[in-house]
């Protein structure tokens, strides 16, 4: 009598393999409809193996956005970057952040919108923290080192610009997201001019108060 053998289960997948499988699944279903048991089934792993790397879908979203953070910081290390004007450094590093996510642009936009869902206030708080952290790293990648009050002005302006650019990018269907690139370029020019004028006003007021 032949000896029966049980089917072999695949070895546990690593974190990156699981993340990529989730993104592929989300391309089909939408991020809101993503179900982790289907991701596990597609990989031939058990849910505990998936949980070992990701506690939930939001943790996967965080890992995906962190891919962009690392790409942005890597762009800051490109030879000659430090010699470029600040506005150019801001543009190049933010585009590196967006380009790292471009392969799943629609799903990424769904991730971010999902964090704004009123029924998940803990996700909203996490989104605010993530936004602040990313903007701070964007400043670091661009080599901005101004002190107050210019630093505070930059942080407010860059946060607004980051949100506006990501919003534009999420809906951008132009080849290579050319519309987003044009929007970012125009916005940085306008922000640079406005920040310079505001800083000049603050300096003038400070000088006047010392008289």
Question: Tens-digit pLDDT profile for the chain (211 aa)?
Answer: 455 544 455 666 899 999 999 999 999 999 999 999 999 999 999 999 999 999 999 999 999 999 999 999 999 999 999 999 999 999 999 999 999 999 999 999 999 887 765 555 666 677 888 999 999 999 999 999 988 877 888 898 899 999 999 999 999 999 999 999 999 999 999 977 766 666 666 566 766 776 6
> Exposure pattern of 128-140 as b/e (b: 16+ CB <10 Å)?
eebbeebbebbbe
One domain for residues 93 and 178 = yes
Predicted local distance difference test score (pLDDT) of residue 41: 97
Residue 86 covered by a domain: yes
- The count of domains in the chain is 2
> What CATH number does the domain containing 119 carry?
1.10.357.10
Burial status of residue 21 (CB atoms within 10 A of its CB: 0-12, 13-18, 19 or more): buried
What is the pLDDT at residue 1? 47
| Domain shared by 97 and 39, yes or no | no
Q: What stretch of H or E contains 157?
A: helix 150-170
Determine, yes or no, domain membership for 61. no
In a domain, 33, yes or no: yes
Torsion sign across C-alpha atoms 91, 93, 99, 101 = negative
Check whether residue 42 and residue 105 sit in a common domain. Answer: no
Same domain, 43 and 137: no
Give the residue numbers spanning the domain of 150. 68-209
DSSP calls for 56-119: SHHHHHHHHHHHHHHHHHHHTTSTTGGGS-HHHHHHHHHHHHHHHHGGGHHHHHHHHHHTT-TT
Same domain for 111 and 35: no
Rg (CA), the chain: 22
- Same domain flag for 105 and 31: no
C-beta neighbour count of 72 within 10 angstroms = 24
**35 with 83, same domain?**
no
């Amino acid at each position: 009598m032949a000896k029966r053998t049980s089917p072999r289960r695949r070895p546990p997948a690593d974190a990156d393999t699981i993340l990529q499988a989730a993104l592929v699944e989300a391309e089909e279903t939408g991020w809101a409809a993503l179900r982790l048991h289907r991701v596990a089934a597609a990989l031939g792993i058990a849910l505990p193996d998936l949980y070992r790397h990701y506690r939930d879908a939001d943790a996967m979203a965080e890992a995906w956005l962190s891919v962009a953070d690392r790409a942005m910081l890597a762009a800051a290390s490109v030879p000659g970057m430090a010699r470029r004007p600040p506005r150019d450094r801001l543009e190049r590093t933010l585009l590196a952040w967006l380009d790292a996510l471009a392969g799943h642009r629609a799903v990424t936009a769904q991730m971010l919108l999902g964090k704004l869902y009123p029924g998940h206030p803990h996700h909203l708080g996490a989104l605010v923290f993530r936004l602040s952290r990313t903007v701070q790293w964007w400043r670091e990648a661009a080599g901005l080192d101004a002190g107050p009050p210019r630093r505070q002005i930059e942080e407010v302006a860059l946060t607004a610009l980051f949100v506006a650019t990501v919003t534009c990018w999420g809906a951008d269907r132009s080849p290579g997201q050319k519309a987003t690139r044009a929007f970012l370029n125009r916005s940085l020019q306008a922000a640079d001019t406005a920040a310079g004028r505001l800083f000049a006003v603050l300096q003038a007021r400070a000088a006047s108060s010392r008289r």
